[in-house]
Structure 1
Amino acid sequence: MASYKHPCKYCGKLIARDSNFCPFCTQENPLGPIRCPICRYPLEDGAKACGHCGILLWKICESCGKETFLGDKCSYCGTPIIVVCPNPKCRAEQPPTNRNCVKCGKPLR
């Protein structure tokens, strides 16, 4: 199956159709709608939860206290969004892009 490239919606350069970031202008979601950080399902603007995997998409930023989309960083202050494993024996800090802890494998939510 051929994998055709598509133009980045920000800079117009051709990129792979499964790109999460444009390798040229570094913008996130360069091919279209906002996507779930867990399952990559396309989301409607303003969605509170993913219609595919059910994850809640908004979190209170621990740095500025504002509600922000569950992405790599806070959309207000730019602080990286970190999830702490709820397992008391683990407590590993990690980005919110997995259902399970990357260290111990326990569910994060």
Structure 2
Amino acid sequence: MASYKHPCKYCGKLIARDSNFCPFCTQENPLGPMRCPICRYPLEDGAKACGHCGILLWKICESCGKETFLGDKCSYCGTPIIVVCPNPKCRAEQPPTNRNCVKCGKPLR
């Protein structure tokens, strides 16, 4: 049985149809609809916030200054996107895909 490849919706390279990550650009969910990085709810094209959990889906990259989808790295320059815990006693750096700090448990937003 032939296994046809499909283009990654981020970089356009052909990848296996059961891929969870693109092996070329490393983006998650390269074939299906965009999903919220927090609750995995399917997103409509152009959504500014998740309709399920309400998180804002776009962030300004501190490295290149461009607006990028909230994920583990900037879509333009590839710099890891991090948030700093607002708790002054913690200030742990972490990916923006958690609701609470991985170190102290306080809400990140």
Q: TM-score range by the shorter chain?
A: 0.7 to 0.9
Deviates more, 1:89-98 or 1:4-13: 4-13
Unmatched 5+ residue regions in structure 2?
none
Partner of 1:94: 94
List, as ranges, runs of 4+ consecutive aligned residues in structure 1 with deviation greater than 6 Å. 1-19
- Classify 1:50/1:20 alpha carbon distance in 2 versus 1 (closer, same or farther; 3 Å): farther
Structure 1 vs Structure 2 CA RMSD? 4.3
- Classify 1:2/1:50 alpha carbon distance in 2 versus 1 (closer, same or farther; 3 Å): farther
Normalising by structure 1, report the TM-score: 0.77
CA drift at 1:63:
0.4
For 1:28-63, what per-residue CA distance to the aligned partner results, in whole angstroms no more than 9, with x for missing partners? 204411100000001011100000000000111010
Structure 2 residue matching 1:55: 3-state secondary structure = coil
Unmatched 5+ residue regions in structure 1?
none
In structure 2, distance between residues paired with 1:82 and 1:21: 20
CA drift at 1:21:
2.5
Structure 2 residue matching 1:6: 3-state secondary structure = strand
- Classify 1:83/1:4 alpha carbon distance in 2 versus 1 (closer, same or farther; 3 Å): farther
Aligned residues: 109
- Classify 1:86/1:2 alpha carbon distance in 2 versus 1 (closer, same or farther; 3 Å): farther
- Classify 1:3/1:104 alpha carbon distance in 2 versus 1 (closer, same or farther; 3 Å): farther
Normalising by structure 2, report the TM-score: 0.77
In structure 2, distance between residues paired with 1:24 and 1:9: 12
In structure 2, distance between residues paired with 1:103 and 1:4: 43
Partner of 1:17: 17
Partner of 1:77: 77
In structure 1, distance between residues paired with 2:11 and 2:78: 22
